[in-house]
Amino acid sequence: MWVYLLVLLLPACGGRAFNFLGTVMTFYPNETSDDTVVLRYKLAFNECDNISVLECPFANCLLTVVSVDRVDEDSGGEWCLREVVVLVNTSSSKLFELRLTGGQWINVTNGVTDVLAVTHVDVRNRSSVSRANSSPVTTMLPILRVPSNCSMNWTLLTFDPDGDAVRCRFEDITSVLGLSSSCRLTFSPSNNSVEGAYAIQLLMEDFPLQNITVTNGREVDVLGNRISQIPIQFVLMVVPPVASCDAFSPVVLNTTAANGHFFYATVNSTVRLPIFAQSLSVSELLFCGPSSMNKTITEGRFELSWRPSDSDLGRSHPVCFVIQSTGESENNLQSELRCVFVVVERVLAVLKAGLISQGSLSMEFLREVFLPQLRTKLVEQGWPRSFTLRLGNITLET
Ligand SMILES: *[C@@H]1O[C@H](CO)[C@@H](O)[C@H](O)[C@H]1NC(C)=O
Ligand SMILES: *[C@@H]1O[C@H](CO)[C@@H](O)[C@H](O)[C@H]1NC(C)=O
Ligand SMILES: *[C@@H]1O[C@H](CO)[C@@H](O)[C@H](O)[C@H]1NC(C)=O
Ligand SMILES: *[C@@H]1O[C@H](CO)[C@@H](O)[C@H](O)[C@H]1NC(C)=O
Ligand SMILES: *[C@@H]1O[C@H](CO)[C@@H](O)[C@H](O)[C@H]1NC(C)=O
Ligand SMILES: *[C@@H]1O[C@H](CO)[C@@H](O)[C@H](O)[C@H]1NC(C)=O
Ligand SMILES: *[C@@H]1O[C@H](CO)[C@@H](O)[C@H](O)[C@H]1NC(C)=O
Ligand SMILES: *[C@@H]1O[C@H](CO)[C@@H](O)[C@H](O)[C@H]1NC(C)=O
Ligand SMILES: *[C@@H]1O[C@H](CO)[C@@H](O)[C@H](O)[C@H]1NC(C)=O
Ligand SMILES: *[C@@H]1O[C@H](CO)[C@@H](O)[C@H](O)[C@H]1NC(C)=O
Ligand SMILES: *[C@@H]1O[C@H](CO)[C@@H](O)[C@H](O)[C@H]1NC(C)=O
Ligand SMILES: *[C@@H]1O[C@H](CO)[C@@H](O)[C@H](O)[C@H]1NC(C)=O
């Protein structure tokens, strides 16, 4: 097993900076080159300036930093989130560990200081899918906030491109949070939940549904257990108690896409994710997603917009967001965490179809009845069976 080290180069202002707020690392094989794996990770620090990533601190390191881009930052200056894309040459090994190290956490109450995030990379060819393995896909905001006397749940996104089961566990025991193997985090008020910042370090792992064989081109192995492992690290901020836990924080309205929702997008066209919230003027939208995603306030709602490029094609991109109250206060409050996927697909054809109906038509009817019937008709007309139909623009005429 090979171990590479990635070092964070910290601000040039001298001394060691206590400024790390977390990371999430995912990887997937590069489709255009059998011998490279794409490592896409998020890095959060206190500040936006003067952070760079040093590749190859040791000889024979096969890493190439492709890009380091800003994703989002909060208005209070607590965090700045970046996305880093790295190509790893896997011609000599398809099974190794990547270590992110060299920095220091912000001062936290649970005793974590040095940064260490380990990704267990396995990109051997899998019998079950006839291609290289990918890690589970997820993402996380740098800081989650909760008042010390309220209960809160957060459900992490869990998606595996290979169809594996995904499970979570703590890397180190944290008494302040509960975690289920299905990646649901819970906070309940107790004597352990003293106010302050906590470094939370989780591991997400994928397990094949049955034994599979994997090969690196030379040897073949049977695997029935964990394949890959990715780190999810962030800060939990336990803030002073509030008078009422029912109405303590900004609220994401239920007209917003539900947690786990899939949006569909195509290369070079803009996809919009509307986010409805109460009291826009005293709150802000904070998100974690692709670095070229923009946030705006338009027509009385928040909106995330994104124009995927060719390199985003064929994958499900995770996006998480919260609404947070704004102000100087250390005691800013957060809404629940919502996470969705944006799947970037190839469009082969755009169809224009008309439907005449006497009654009103529901979206459910269009999706569940109309689309399957249209699909059957197209196959009868000689279309190949392996395509997916999705609803695009709908206009009503009376
Ligand atoms: C960032 O680094 C540059 C050059 O080293 C320096 O001029 C600048 O003041 C630094 N900015 C901050 C915010 O530290
Ligand atoms: C990977 O490294 C090997 C050996 O160093 C080299 O021959 C090969 O060209 C590299 N592949 C890529 C895609 O950079
Ligand atoms: C964090 O703790 C270290 C060591 O106790 C201290 O030197 C530093 O000033 C603290 N930093 C902040 C931002 O509180
Ligand atoms: C993986 O294996 C399948 C079938 O065994 C083969 O068609 C495919 O080319 C292999 N992919 C790679 C990246 O080696
Ligand atoms: C958290 O989840 C548990 C279990 O589903 C539920 O009983 C509880 O009401 C939830 N709490 C909050 C604050 O949503
Ligand atoms: C908190 O601590 C106090 C005193 O140690 C104890 O009486 C109380 O039961 C504890 N509460 C909880 C929720 O653990
Ligand atoms: C999976 O592989 C393990 C170890 O190779 C073996 O003990 C187990 O019986 C296998 N399970 C199935 C369902 O084949
Ligand atoms: C939270 O704490 C505050 C202050 O201690 C108290 O007034 C309030 O009733 C508490 N709320 C709940 C839901 O326990
Ligand atoms: C959204 O919330 C409103 C008011 O709380 C409720 O009347 C409505 O049924 C909810 N809609 C959905 C889709 O849950
Ligand atoms: C997207 O736009 C780029 C730059 O304009 C172009 O090179 C590329 O071919 C386009 N891709 C698709 C799928 O349209
Ligand atoms: C995002 O903002 C940048 C800079 O303002 C702009 O160039 C880009 O077109 C925007 N993208 C979308 C999808 O709106
Ligand atoms: C795949 O690898 C090639 C060659 O190493 C590189 O040019 C390309 O950008 C990589 N693709 C992605 C999506 O990073």
For residues 140 and 274, state if they share a domain: no
Give the CATH number, domain containing residue 75.
Answer: 2.60.40.10
CB-ligand 10 contact for 313 (6 Å cutoff) = no
Under DSSP, is residue 370 helix (H, G, I), strand (E, B) or coil?
helix
- Ligand 2 atom 12 nearest Cα: 89
Query: What's the total number of domains in the chain?
Result: 3
To the nearest whole number, what is the mean pLDDT of the chain? Answer: 87
| Nearest atom in ligand 4 to 29's CA | 13
- Pocket test of ligand 8: the residue of 149, 150, 191, 193 to mutate, having most ligand atoms within 8 Å of its CB, is 149
pLDDT tens for 4-56 read 556 565 554 555 678 899 999 999 998 888 889 999 999 999 888 756 666 55
With b for 16 or more beta-carbon neighbours within 10 A and e for fewer, the 228-266 pattern comes to: bbbbbbbbbbbbeebeeeeebbbebeeebbebeeebbbb
Mean pLDDT over 382-389 rounds to 78
What number of helices (H) and strands (E) belong to the chain?
Answer: 2, 26
Mean pLDDT over 318-333 rounds to 86
pLDDT at 101 over 90: no
| Nearest atom in ligand 3 to 107's CA | 1
Q: How far is CA 66 from the centre of its chain?
A: 19
- Ligand 6 atom 11 nearest Cα: 191
Q: Is 89 buried (19+), middle (13-18) or exposed (0-12) by CB count in 10 A?
A: middle
For residues 240 and 260, state if they share a domain: no
pLDDT tens for 127-151 read 888 889 999 999 999 999 999 999 9
Under 8 Å between Cβ of 151 and 187: yes
For residues 198 and 122, state if they share a domain: yes
Confidence category of residue 385, pLDDT binned at 50, 70, 90: confident
Last residue of a domain, one of 248, 269, 296: 248
Last residue of a domain, one of 348, 366, 384: 348
pLDDT at 191 over 80: no
pLDDT value at residue 250: 86
pLDDT tens for 339-354 read 999 999 887 677 788 8
pLDDT value at residue 354: 82
For residues 151 and 293, state if they share a domain: no
pTM score:
0.86
For residues 72 and 139, state if they share a domain: yes
Q: How far is the CA of 35 from the centre of ligand 2 (A)?
A: 7
Q: Can you name the residues that pair with 116 across neighbouring β-strands?
A: 101
- Ligand 1 atom 3 nearest Cα: 50
For residues 242 and 256, state if they share a domain: no
CB-ligand 5 contact for 151 (6 Å cutoff) = yes
pLDDT value at residue 200: 96
Domain that holds residue 373: 353-398
For residues 340 and 380, state if they share a domain: no
pLDDT at 252 over 70: yes
pLDDT tens for 255-282 read 899 999 999 999 999 999 999 998 777 8
Instruction: Give the number of C-alpha atoms closer than 13 A to the C-alpha of residue 276, restricted to the C-beta side.
Output: 6
For residues 238 and 161, state if they share a domain: yes
For residues 328 and 391, state if they share a domain: no
- Pocket test of ligand 5: the residue of 186, 251, 252 to mutate, having most ligand atoms within 8 Å of its CB, is 186
Q: Can you name the residues that pair with 280 across neighbouring β-strands?
A: none
Confidence category of residue 177, pLDDT binned at 50, 70, 90: very high
Ligand nearest to the CA of 146: 5
For residues 343 and 307, state if they share a domain: yes
For residues 120 and 160, state if they share a domain: yes
Kindly list the protein residues whose Cβ atom lies closer than 6 A to any atom of ligand 8. 149, 241-243, 245
- Pocket test of ligand 10: the residue of 268, 306, 344, 346 to mutate, having most ligand atoms within 8 Å of its CB, is 268
Ligand nearest to the CA of 245: 8
pLDDT at 300 over 90: no
Q: pLDDT over 90 for what percent of the chain?
A: 51
Q: Letter for the amino acid at 151?
A: S
Q: How far is the CA of 60 from the centre of ligand 3 (A)?
A: 36
Q: How far is the CA of 126 from the centre of ligand 4 (A)?
A: 8
Question: Rounded to 10 degrees, what is the CA torsion of 355, 361, 364, 369?
Answer: -40
Q: pLDDT over 70 for what percent of the chain?
A: 91
Ligand nearest to the CA of 32: 12
Under DSSP, is residue 57 helix (H, G, I), strand (E, B) or coil?
coil
For residues 283 and 196, state if they share a domain: no
Last residue of a domain, one of 183, 214, 248: 248
Q: How far is the CA of 44 from the centre of ligand 3 (A)?
A: 18
Q: Can you name the residues that pair with 273 across neighbouring β-strands?
A: 304
pLDDT at 60 over 70: no
Ligand nearest to the CA of 50: 1
pLDDT value at residue 59: 43
pLDDT at 57 over 70: no
